[in-house]
Amino acid sequence: MNKPQCADCGEYPVNHRAEWFSALVDSSLEPLFTFLDTISHRIWLFCGQPSFDWAALPLIHTLAFLHLGTIETAMDERMSTRAKLVWRAAETRHIALRQFLALGRFDGFSVFIARAQDGRMRAFEGIPRPERGMPASLAWVDDKAILKKRFLAAGIPVAQGRGCLTFHQAADTFRKVGAPVITKPNLGSRGRHSTVHLTNLDELKKGFRSAQQLSPWVVVEQELQGELFRVLLIAKKVVNVLRREPAHVVGDGVSTVHDLALRENQNPRRQGPTFHLLPTDGDEAREELARQGYAWDRIPPKGVMVTLSQRISRFLGGSTTDFTGRAHPDNLALFERIAETLDDSLVGIDFIIGDMARPWHEQKLCGVVECNSLPNIQLHSDVLYGPSFDVAGMLLDLAFPPQAAEQDGTR
């Protein structure tokens, strides 16, 4: 019998105990990792960054021989969506792949070994990075509390708040920054166990306990105002700006909320596996409607967005809309400055802003929610409203750039 899916994890459930222990270890050892990464980064800058790709193939064969994992040489339907995107992009480019699965698990840690037709090889975890070597920021970019401190020092807009170990600290932070606030695990991704619109201590306690299931430290911060955008940067340049929306309908001035949801559910793109149906009943949707002053039988004005959930999850009916061409140049410049601050050639930024078409510095309570060192490329590879991008293909092209002989036609 399958275990019931955790509603707070959304479409990407994880083992709570494993995540909690991992967050404890990562946060406790972060000062040591930062020191070692800083030293190694300086050595690499002086000596040149070494390549360990040549050692990856014998290493994974050794691990497989010791029954610590398995090696896949062809795409399997049990693989993650991200892995399938990498496999398909490699096939179209005639790049041979091997994927090592730790303990033979398709949902666990994996390493790819990619070999181009000319013999060049790259080893990478999850998705290929545009450049070899690891930037120093990888030691802290996924830690939301540390990221907040570093960005504030760099003049990059972020929400006020901090990481809290106890509810007493959380309550103190709540009083200082003011309602509404959000809570989320200090380490984590995909919005798992994040709670928004917290306006009193009882709600704060519920959100704090939810986040504590995945991390001993919980970030409590002011709730930024506006819409959530995911910005993908490759080689420190903006590639895609997506608006991520919770399950919602947009009023036409004549239809009820319920009728609008039923009509949107006729969209063939919402029949899965990426995008799912909007809810048409249930306590969560009813409570979210009541929070906005609506009910299922109310008729919203034309053009007004009415949300059916607080959580931005495609599993719960969420959607994505391309905004790349509508982003203000000042906002694009800010995103590229963030990539420069991280000194990273591959980064995903979650950013909240009221109007992406207006400069960020003219708007209040906008800023970075978090950054991701291993961006969710599925978001950009399958967009509900707007063009989709072959992100895996773009990254493979950068991992295997044309050689000089190919570029000038010489041998």
pLDDT of residue 405: 43
pLDDT of residue 281: 92
For residues 13 and 284, which has the higher predicted lDDT (pLDDT)?
284
Tell me the whole-structure pTM to 2 decimals: 0.79
Contact 248, 308 (CB under 8 A): yes
* Residues whose CB is less than 8 angstroms from the CB of residue 345 and which lie 6 or more positions away in sequence, other chains included: 129, 130, 131, 135, 234, 235, 236, 339
Domain ranges for the chain: 16-126, 247-309
* pLDDT tens, residue by residue, 25-71: 555 545 554 554 455 455 444 554 445 677 788 888 888 899 888 99
* pLDDT tens, residue by residue, 89-143: 999 999 999 999 988 888 777 889 999 999 888 888 888 888 766 677 776 777 7
User: Average pLDDT in the 355-362 region?
Assistant: 97
pLDDT classification of 410: cutoffs 50, 70, 90: very low
pLDDT of residue 52: 63
pLDDT of residue 190: 62
pLDDT classification of 151: cutoffs 50, 70, 90: very high
pLDDT at residue 24 above 70? Answer: no
Percentage of the chain with pLDDT > 90?
Answer: 48
Q: Are strands 227-234 and 121-125 parallel, antiparallel or unpaired?
A: unpaired
pLDDT classification of 162: cutoffs 50, 70, 90: confident
Query: What angle do helix axes 391-399 and 81-92 make, rounded to 10 degrees?
Result: 60
User: Coil, strand or helix: which one is 316?
Assistant: helix
pLDDT of residue 201: 93
pLDDT at residue 377 above 80? Answer: yes
Contact 106, 78 (CB under 8 A): yes
pLDDT at residue 189 above 90? Answer: no
Percentage of the chain with pLDDT > 70?
Answer: 84
Tokens standing for residue 236: 């420190």
Contact 80, 47 (CB under 8 A): no
Contact 22, 142 (CB under 8 A): no
Contact 92, 397 (CB under 8 A): no
Short-list 293, 288, 299, CA closest to 258 = 299
User: Average pLDDT in the 65-79 region?
Assistant: 91
* pLDDT tens, residue by residue, 214-228: 888 888 988 899 999
* pLDDT tens, residue by residue, 251-307: 999 999 999 999 999 999 998 788 999 999 999 999 999 999 999 999 999 999 999
Rounded distance between C-alpha atoms, residue 282 and residue 64, angstroms: 47
User: Average pLDDT in the 225-254 region?
Assistant: 95
Rounded distance between C-alpha atoms, residue 147 and residue 15, angstroms: 25
pLDDT of residue 1: 35
Residue with tokens 């037709």: 117
130-139, 218-227, 231-240, 391-400: least confident range: 130-139
Average pLDDT, the chain: 85
Long-range contacts of 188-193 (CB under 8 A, 24+ apart): 188/19, 188/23, 188/214, 188/215, 189/142, 189/370, 189/372, 189/376, 190/10, 190/11, 190/12, 190/376, 191/10, 191/311, 191/312, 191/313, 192/8, 192/9, 192/10, 192/12, 192/14, 193/8, 193/9
Rounded distance between C-alpha atoms, residue 122 and residue 131, angstroms: 10
